[in-house]
Amino acid sequence: MPSTTAPTPADLLATARELTVTGLTRRQAFDTTRTIIDLSNTLGHLLSVCAAEMDRLGVAAQSGGKIKPLLIEMGLAPVVADRVLRIGRGLQRACERVEGRSSRAPQGARGSSIIGDPSIPEVRGTSRATKGYPVARSPP
């Protein structure tokens, strides 16, 4: 079986820029939208993990700065930079507690569409579980 390598983020960006979404049927428009939402959530997760990893590695500190201003300089809005760091740091803490690693997402966060705004409660829920706090449950 031939070995395949995963595309780089630059390859994915180039491919995404070539996509067109005109002339679609209703079903194709629906399916394409759903796929793009999943892609957006996955990329949001990767951004959070990468930003937290840059923070952990001291990338901004090398030039005497902080990670949030660096993310803003790279093109994120201030509120988005805050959210990305909060999610990424939360995932790192949860990973360290649950799996003893900082570079992997918790098992429940590895799906393609779990990350995004809903990930904040997910991170908090994972942290509660590792601390032994009771987690609210839905009524039966």
4-50, pLDDT tens digit by residue? Answer: 788 888 998 899 899 888 999 999 999 999 999 999 999 999 999 99
Q: Where do we find the tokens 């005109």? A: 22
Closest of 33, 48, 68 to residue 115, by C-alpha: 48
Residue 81 has pLDDT above 70, yes or no: yes
Task: Evaluate whether 84 touches 76 at the Cβ level (below 8 Å).
Answer: yes
Output the average pLDDT for the chain.
77
Tokens of 45: 């997760």
3-state secondary structure of 75: coil
Is 140 a residue whose pLDDT tops 70? Answer: no
Domains of the chain, by residue range, sit at 28-126
Stretch 53-72: mean pLDDT, rounded? 90
Whole-angstrom CA distances from 31 to 21, 34, 36, 73 are 11, 5, 9, 34
In this prediction, residue 114 carries a pLDDT of 47
Q: Whose CA is closest to 60, among 48, 72, 49?
A: 72
Q: CA-based angle 47:68:79, to the nearest 5?
A: 75
